[in-house]
């Protein structure tokens, strides 16, 4: 042992010039380079000599550098993964990536742990007499397959439920939806149902597409931002880079509407702590001030908005006193916020789960859109509805409609939609039809409809598909087998019922990199199978970020343990079921792995509705290799091989790849030609309604030759306009009798765009949706409300007999008064360290260490009134008889009368520790009660989104 200090430590460094640059030469360069970086980006990443450092490492010749995208949220952060001898040894910041500039949150900065995967599910396993047993892939596929075929024989294909995933890449998501179609069911869904389904429905029904209109980067141009039920500091931390950039560089004002004083609210100019579930009242309250003061954009409304007068009638009721009674926000707060939005334009609205996860979710999302339309903020740089999606590929999986109500590209389930996809798949429509149950269990307009054309059971209700009396379910039989393919069970409400359903099933199958809480929740002793899937770092393909950009991922490492990529597992099942040849008719299969690029090319041939047609594998790879050429704010490549294109070719990227459409950075922005990413609102709802014109008036994209609103394009319209001969002879053959959505040649789109027109027509956005339960969004009290005084004035809907094949309760629950026994409003949200159900992130020790306890946030008033001390154990009880045992965190972050619980935890159930039930060595490092064990009944009236943001509870000391 040395007891003398070293006086000349730098001596050793002088001698090691063989490993990169010496410390001395580094210092020599640092000052000069740093100035350059800081001036160039104004965001000044602290890195000073990136280019030199990278070349130094590369010249050492050890590590191979892969370009991938973080899998933890939809911001889509770029990552450099260093791989040596097949081992993921280093993670370097991608300073040249246009979305994140090298930055990461806790999850992104801990990505490399995926290369360790110690707590992964390592082999196919099954439960036999209560014990986990290893098995081979072949045996697993055979056993599960035989069981499913038996159920299919007895109860029809709808008795097997295929629950897919927002963690699949685009190619896997597309193949999964196709796979379910060939199994013959619409009982297929994924996480989008329970995160943003109300957004997709509400927004698409307002102006055409149900996606984020602008981008994180474009928020740099905002002058005002209102975040509603969105906490990016925890859920999308790198989005905060862009939000704070706007605040710092553009002097943008930030308003945060959230019942909690969140980490994001702490960065805001104004916090609006609304009562959970009072969003519509708050928005109409803001609009009340806008209309009262004439702050609306009248020209914009005249040209581009339909039905706002009906909204005005409703808004009149929301005077400041009534708004305060319902939301708890006073006149001064509302006036200030409205004025900020009205006097700082362009402004943008951001919303997340706090707005969507309600029985009234579709009303909330439409109200947010209406506010922005009245202010004239949609279709403008710096404006827009910047809806932050959740999982890394939830946007892509939504677009490919791993959903029970549509085929890929939002084509729906009509015969026409099936015929379109049969043509793309080059399969006989009658064969596909024959795969489905031929019975009929529902009527539409008095006529019987077949299961092939009726919405399947959504993931939020699969439990009822199992437990509900067979006579009440609009399909042949109950669900008997459930496949959780990349989906955590603790993201769904009503934990007790879910456990019951899991125990009742004939068969329970998990396909996932981790065993997930599904493996421990039920008491069943057999009939549970666990199949190890890889993460996205062990395969490759494309992923769609929240802003609609498609990014290509390299494969970082080979599959760990005995795991297989999801598309390989799909192929194995298809082979077992006998439709592998049809599934992969035009997709090359290497061994048992379908070729990713061929899958991309196949969906390119069919996704005309939303422009997933121009993003060929080659174009996406070109963007991936040229991250550095895309601008940090406009996302446009300036020079380089992708010159003029927008990063990731955000959809719609119209026409064929050969047409070289640059992608659409900002939806509905008429300041550019359609050929350069310009657009207008979609003509989706006809050309007139109740005698009034629905088409745009005097507003059109630059270069539009029609210079006015117009309907969507079809062969007939082209002929009428005299543009038919602009099609080539081949295109004419393909386009005859088709429209812009079904012409597989892309000719109709090409010619429309050539004349400066959007293929989908040019209409007004509508603030009245006549096909929804509420034409104009109305405030309706949550089913479980503590405010009985408001129930009479703002009641929920009547119960429904069949909504997505199931009876759905509204009024019958709201009529019951639980407010005396359960006086505290219960809401839920996220933590930065974890994602979704948390099985993956709680298995990462670098993350798990930072958040080791499930907790409930209580205001000191509620804590003291219930005898609760900070840090003590408490029970949170909810009206349906569930209870969870968690730690109390006493804080002013929540208002008196509101309790907050984070989701992500699992492994404990109503006080019972389930850790011993995981397969050996695969229990996550941290476990806790699931928030959704306690969360109660309640589903959106349009999409069956679950209510997980408002319930009621009582707190008792444990």
Partner 1 sequence: MARMKFLCDSERCIECNGCVTACKNEHEVEWGVNRRRVVTINDGEPNEVSLSVACMHCTDAPCMAVCPVDCFYQTDEGIVLHDKDACIGCGYCLFACPFGAPQFPQEGAFGDRGKMDKCTFCAGGPEEDHSVAEREKYGRNRIAEGKLPLCAEMCSTKALLAGDANDVSDIYRERVIARGSNKGAWGQNLAYNAAGNKS
Chain residues 388-407 in contact with partner 1, contact rule CB under 8 A: none
Under the binding rule (CB under 8 A), the answer on residue 628 touching partner 1 is: no
Contact yes or no for 828/900 (Cβ under 8 A) = yes
CA angle 612, 613, 614 (to 5 degrees): 105
Nearest approach, Cβ of residue 354 and partner 1 (Å): 17
For residue 825, the Cα-to-chain-centroid distance in whole angstroms is: 26
The residue (of 350 and 570) whose beta carbon lies closer to partner 1 is: 350
Nearest approach, Cβ of residue 861 and partner 1 (Å): 14
Q: Which of 187, 69, 144 is nearest to 436 (CA)?
A: 187
Interface of this chain with partner 1, residues 212 to 271, rule: CB under 8 A: 233-234, 237-238, 240-241, 244, 247-249, 251, 261, 263-264, 266-267
Q: Which of 66, 67, 72, 104 binds partner 1 (CB under 8 A)?
A: 104
Nearest approach, Cβ of residue 889 and partner 1 (Å): 9
The residue (of 144 and 226) whose beta carbon lies closer to partner 1 is: 226
Contact yes or no for 747/791 (Cβ under 8 A) = no
Nearest approach, Cβ of residue 401 and partner 1 (Å): 32
The residue (of 22 and 625) whose beta carbon lies closer to partner 1 is: 22
C-alpha to C-alpha distances, 881 to 273, 478, 496, 808, 901, nearest whole angstrom: 29, 25, 9, 20, 17
Nearest approach, Cβ of residue 120 and partner 1 (Å): 18
Beta bridge pairs of residue 636: 646
Q: Which of 467, 891, 910, 958 binds partner 1 (CB under 8 A)?
A: 891
- The Cα 385–Cα 381 span in angstroms is 11
Under the binding rule (CB under 8 A), the answer on residue 109 touching partner 1 is: yes
Q: Which of 188, 686, 213, 183 is nearest to 407 (CA)?
A: 188
The residue (of 37 and 349) whose beta carbon lies closer to partner 1 is: 37
Nearest approach, Cβ of residue 34 and partner 1 (Å): 4
Nearest approach, Cβ of residue 185 and partner 1 (Å): 41
Nearest approach, Cβ of residue 364 and partner 1 (Å): 25
> Strand 188-189 to strand 907-909: parallel, antiparallel, or no bridges (unpaired)?
unpaired
The residue (of 53 and 687) whose beta carbon lies closer to partner 1 is: 53
- Write the burial class of residue 846 (CB in 10 Å: 0-12 exposed, 13-18 middle, 19+ buried): middle
- The Cα 163–Cα 483 span in angstroms is 6
DSSP secondary structure, 205-244, as one string: HHHS--S-SS-TGGGGG-SEEEEES--HHHHSHHHHHHHH
The residue (of 95 and 421) whose beta carbon lies closer to partner 1 is: 95
Using the contact rule CB under 8 A, the part of the chain among 64-72, 151-159, 277-285, 843-851 near partner 1 is 843-851
C-alpha to C-alpha distances, 230 to 406, 494, 829, nearest whole angstrom: 27, 23, 9
C-alpha to C-alpha distances, 676 to 34, 168, 648, 701, 751, nearest whole angstrom: 35, 30, 14, 10, 15
Nearest approach, Cβ of residue 96 and partner 1 (Å): 13
The contact mask relative to partner 1 for 536-575 (x = CB under 8 A, - = no) is ----------------------------------------
DSSP secondary structure, 731-797, as one string: HHHHHTT-BTTT-TT-HHHHHHHHTT--TT-BB-EES--TTSSSSS------SS-S-HHHHTTS--P
The residue (of 62 and 885) whose beta carbon lies closer to partner 1 is: 62
What order of strands is seen across the sheet that includes strand 253-257? 270-272, 253-257, 224-228, 347-351
Under the binding rule (CB under 8 A), the answer on residue 888 touching partner 1 is: no
What is the number of other CB atoms lying within 10 angstroms of the CB of residue 442?
16
Q: Helix 170-183 crosses helix 566-577 at what angle (to 10 degrees)?
A: 20
- The Cα 241–Cα 252 span in angstroms is 13
Nearest approach, Cβ of residue 244 and partner 1 (Å): 5
| Start-to-end C-alpha separation, the chain | 52
For residue 852, the Cα-to-chain-centroid distance in whole angstroms is: 26
The residue (of 38 and 659) whose beta carbon lies closer to partner 1 is: 38
Q: Which of 424, 505, 570, 832 binds partner 1 (CB under 8 A)?
A: 832
The residue (of 106 and 350) whose beta carbon lies closer to partner 1 is: 106
Q: Number of residues in contact with partner 1, rule: CB under 8 A?
A: 83
Q: Which of 66, 107, 127, 461 binds partner 1 (CB under 8 A)?
A: 107
Q: Which of 63, 70, 73, 105 binds partner 1 (CB under 8 A)?
A: 105
The residue (of 777 and 902) whose beta carbon lies closer to partner 1 is: 902
The residue (of 247 and 358) whose beta carbon lies closer to partner 1 is: 247
Nearest approach, Cβ of residue 254 and partner 1 (Å): 10
Q: Helix 331-343 crosses helix 320-327 at what angle (to 10 degrees)?
A: 110
Beta bridge pairs of residue 68: 79
Q: Which of 66, 97, 112, 455 binds partner 1 (CB under 8 A)?
A: 112
Phi, psi dihedral angles at 65 (to 5 degrees): -105, 125
Nearest approach, Cβ of residue 343 and partner 1 (Å): 14
Interface of this chain with partner 1, residues 1 to 60, rule: CB under 8 A: 1-7, 9-10, 12-13, 16, 19-23, 25-27, 30-31, 34-35, 38, 42-49, 52-53, 56-57
The residue (of 12 and 693) whose beta carbon lies closer to partner 1 is: 12
DSSP secondary structure, 621-644, as one string: HHHHHTGGGB-TTT-BB-SSTTTT
The residue (of 17 and 414) whose beta carbon lies closer to partner 1 is: 17
Nearest approach, Cβ of residue 320 and partner 1 (Å): 20
Nearest approach, Cβ of residue 115 and partner 1 (Å): 10
Q: Which of 68, 91, 745, 808 binds partner 1 (CB under 8 A)?
A: 91
Nearest approach, Cβ of residue 4 and partner 1 (Å): 7
The residue (of 114 and 494) whose beta carbon lies closer to partner 1 is: 114
The residue (of 70 and 403) whose beta carbon lies closer to partner 1 is: 70
What is the number of other CB atoms lying within 10 angstroms of the CB of residue 495?
27
Q: Which of 112, 108, 106 is nearest to 70 (CA)?
A: 108
The residue (of 790 and 926) whose beta carbon lies closer to partner 1 is: 926
The residue (of 28 and 686) whose beta carbon lies closer to partner 1 is: 28
Contact yes or no for 190/403 (Cβ under 8 A) = yes
Q: Which of 76, 98, 108, 156 binds partner 1 (CB under 8 A)?
A: 108
Under the binding rule (CB under 8 A), the answer on residue 725 touching partner 1 is: no
Contact yes or no for 408/175 (Cβ under 8 A) = no
- The Cα 303–Cα 698 span in angstroms is 6
Nearest approach, Cβ of residue 371 and partner 1 (Å): 25
Q: Which helix (H) or strand (E) holds 501?
A: helix 495-504
Nearest approach, Cβ of residue 835 and partner 1 (Å): 13
Using the contact rule CB under 8 A, the part of the chain among 106-114, 355-363, 513-521, 548-556 near partner 1 is 106-114
- The Cα 578–Cα 820 span in angstroms is 58
Q: Which of 146, 426, 730, 849 binds partner 1 (CB under 8 A)?
A: 849
Nearest approach, Cβ of residue 248 and partner 1 (Å): 6
Cis, peptide link before residue 652, omega less than 30° from 0? yes
Under the binding rule (CB under 8 A), the answer on residue 892 touching partner 1 is: yes
Interface of this chain with partner 1, residues 660 to 699, rule: CB under 8 A: none
The residue (of 240 and 863) whose beta carbon lies closer to partner 1 is: 240
């Amino acid at each position: 042992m040395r007891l003398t200090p070293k006086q000349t430590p730098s001596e050793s460094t002088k001698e090691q010039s063989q490993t990169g640059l010496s410390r001395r030469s580094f210092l020599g360069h640092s000052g000069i380079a740093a100035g350059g970086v800081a001036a160039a980006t104004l965001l000044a990443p602290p890195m000073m000599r990136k280019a030199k450092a990278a070349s130094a490492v590369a010249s050492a010749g050890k590590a191979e550098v892969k370009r991938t995208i973080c899998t933890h949220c939809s911001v889509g952060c770029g990552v450099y993964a260093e791989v040596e001898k097949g081992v993921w040894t280093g993670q370097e910041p991608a300073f040249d990536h246009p979305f994140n500039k090298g930055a990461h949150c806790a999850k992104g900065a801990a990505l490399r742990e995926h290369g360790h995967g110690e707590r992964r599910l390592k082999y196919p396993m099954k439960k036999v007499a209560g014990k986990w047993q290893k098995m081979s892939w072949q045996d697993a596929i055979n056993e599960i397959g035989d069981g499913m075929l038996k159920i299919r024989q007895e109860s029809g294909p709808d008795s097997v439920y295929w629950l897919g995933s927002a963690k699949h890449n685009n190619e896997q998501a597309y193949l999964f939806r196709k796979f379910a179609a060939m199994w013959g069911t619409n009982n297929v869904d994924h996480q989008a149902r329970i995160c943003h389904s109300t957004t997709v429905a509400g927004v698409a029904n307002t102006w055409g597409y149900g996606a984020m209109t602008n981008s994180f980067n474009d928020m740099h141009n905002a002058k005002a931002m209102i975040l509603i039920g969105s906490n990016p500091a925890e859920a999308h931390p790198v989005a905060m880079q862009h939000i704070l950039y706007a605040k710092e560089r553009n002097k943008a004002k930030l308003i945060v509407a959230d019942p909690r004083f969140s980490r994001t609210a702490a960065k805001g100019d104004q916090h609006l702590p609304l009562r959970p579930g009072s969003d519509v009242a708050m928005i109409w309250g803001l609009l009340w001030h806008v209309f009262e003061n004439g702050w609306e954009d009248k020209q914009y409304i005249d040209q581009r908005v339909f039905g706002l007068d009906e909204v005005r009638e409703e808004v009149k009721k929301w005077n400041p006193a009534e708004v305060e009674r319902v939301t708890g926000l006073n006149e001064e707060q509302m006036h200030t916020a409205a004025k900020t939005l009205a006097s700082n334009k362009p402004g943008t609205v951001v919303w997340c789960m706090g707005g969507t996860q309600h029985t009234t979710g579709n009303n909330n999302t439409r109200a947010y859109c209406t506010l922005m339309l009245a202010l004239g903020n949609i279709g403008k740089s710096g404006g827009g509805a910047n809806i932050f999606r959740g999982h890394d590929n939830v946007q892509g999986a939504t677009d490919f409609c791993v959903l029970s109500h549509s085929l890929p590209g939002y084509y729906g389930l009509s015969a026409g939609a099936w015929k379109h996809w049969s043509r793309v798949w080059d399969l006989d429509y009658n064969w596909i039809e024959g795969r489905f149950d031929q019975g009929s269990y529902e009527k539409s307009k008095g006529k019987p409809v077949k299961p092939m054309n009726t919405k399947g059971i959504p993931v939020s209700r699969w439990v009822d598909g199992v437990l509900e009396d067979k006579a009440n379910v609009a399909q042949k039989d109950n669900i008997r087998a459930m496949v959780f393919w990349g989906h955590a069970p603790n993201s769904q409400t009503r934990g007790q019922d879910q456990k019951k359903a899991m125990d009742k099933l004939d068969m329970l199958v998990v396909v996932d990199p981790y065993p997930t809480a599904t493996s421990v929740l039920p008491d069943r002793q057999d009939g549970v199978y666990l199949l190890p899937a890889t993460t996205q770092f062990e395969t490759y393909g494309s992923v769609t970020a929240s802003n609609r950009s498609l990014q290509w991922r390299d494969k970082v490492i080979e599959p760990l343990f005995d795991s297989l990529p999801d598309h390989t597992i799909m192929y194995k099942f298809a082979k077992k079921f006998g439709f592998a040849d049809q599934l992969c008719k035009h997709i090359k299969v290497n061994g048992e792995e379908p070729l990713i690029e061929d899958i991309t090319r196949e969906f390119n041939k069919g996704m005309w509705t939303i422009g997933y047609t121009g993003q060929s594998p080659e174009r996406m790879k070109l963007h991936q290799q040229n991250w550095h050429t895309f601008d940090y704010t406009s996302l446009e490549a300036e020079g380089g091989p992708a010159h003029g294109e927008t990063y990731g070719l955000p959809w719609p990227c119209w026409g064929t790849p050969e047409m070289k459409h640059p992608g659409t950075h900002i939806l509905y922005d008429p300041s550019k030609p359609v050929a350069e990413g310009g657009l207008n609102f979609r003509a989706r709802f006809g050309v007139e309604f109740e005698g009034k014109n629905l088409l745009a008036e005097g507003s059109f994209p630059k270069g539009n030759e029609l210079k006015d609103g117009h309907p969507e394009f079809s062969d007939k319209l082209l002929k009428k306009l005299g543009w038919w001969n602009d099609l080539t002879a081949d295109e004419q053959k393909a386009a005859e009798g088709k429209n812009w959505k079904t012409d597989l040649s892309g000719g109709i789109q090409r010619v429309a765009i050539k004349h400066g027109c959007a293929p989908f027509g040019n209409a007004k956005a509508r603030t009245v949706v006549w096909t929804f339960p509420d034409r104009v969004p109305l405030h309706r009290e949550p089913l479980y409300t503590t405010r009985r005084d408001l129930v009479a004035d703002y009641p929920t809907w009547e119960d429904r007999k069949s909504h997505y094949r199931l009876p759905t309760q509204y009024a019958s629950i709201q009529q019951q008064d639980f407010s005396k026994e359960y006086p505290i409003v219960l809401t839920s949200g996220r933590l930065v360290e974890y994602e979704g159900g948390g099985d993956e992130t709680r298995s990462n020790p670098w993350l798990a260490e930072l958040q080791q306890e499930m907790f409930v946030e209580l205001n000191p008033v509620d804590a003291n009134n219930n005898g609760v001390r900070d840090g003590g154990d408490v029970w949170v009880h909810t009206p349906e008889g569930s209870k969870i045992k968690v730690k109390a965190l006493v804080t002013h972050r929540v208002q008196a009368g509101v309790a907050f619980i984070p989701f992500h935890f699992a492994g404990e159930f109503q006080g019972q520790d389930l850790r011993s039930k995981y397969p050996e060595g695969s229990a996550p490092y941290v476990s806790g009660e699931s928030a959704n064990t306690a969360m109660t009944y309640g589903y959106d009236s349009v999409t069956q989104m679950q209510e997980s943001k408002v319930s009621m509870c009582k707190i008792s000391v444990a």
